[in-house]
Amino acid sequence: MNVICIEEKAFLTLIGEVIKYVKSEIKPVIADKWVGKKEAMQMLRIKSPTTLQKLRDEGKIRFSQPEKKHIVYDRDSIIEYLEAHAKEPF
């Protein structure tokens, strides 16, 4: 086993450089406006695709159907639906 000794000032400089490098490499995650069935069901905390279809059919959440069997859901509309059904504490 090798042991490397380094001065405290050099160590702190090295740590600072590593932190700067990592921050410059991390790209902010931008949430997509449209989500698929799986993510929509996760956001709504539901397990049944039938429930998701019911919300869609009743016009409670927005969706788009760019292809015959491809349906995507509006993330903002799901959040609005959840907020509209939120109960305030006493």
pLDDT digits (tens, 9 = 90+) for 61-87: 999 999 999 999 999 999 999 999 999
Domain assignment present for residue 44? The answer is: yes
Tens of pLDDT, residue by residue over 12-43, are 999 999 999 988 888 777 778 999 999 999 99
User: What pLDDT was estimated at residue 32?
Assistant: 86
Residue in the structure block whose two tokens are 């956001």: 43
Q: What is the DSSP string of 7-60?
A: -HHHHHHHHHHHHHHHHHHPPPP---SEE-HHHHHHHHT---HHHHHHHHHTTS
Contact, 17 vs 24, CB < 8 A?
no
Contact, 28 vs 66, CB < 8 A?
no
Domain assignment present for residue 80? The answer is: yes
User: What pLDDT was estimated at residue 28?
Assistant: 73
Domain assignment present for residue 19? The answer is: no
| Residue 60 pLDDT class (50, 70, 90 cuts) | very high
**What total number of domains does the chain contain?**
1
Domain assignment present for residue 11? The answer is: no
Q: Which domain holds residue 80?
A: 34-84
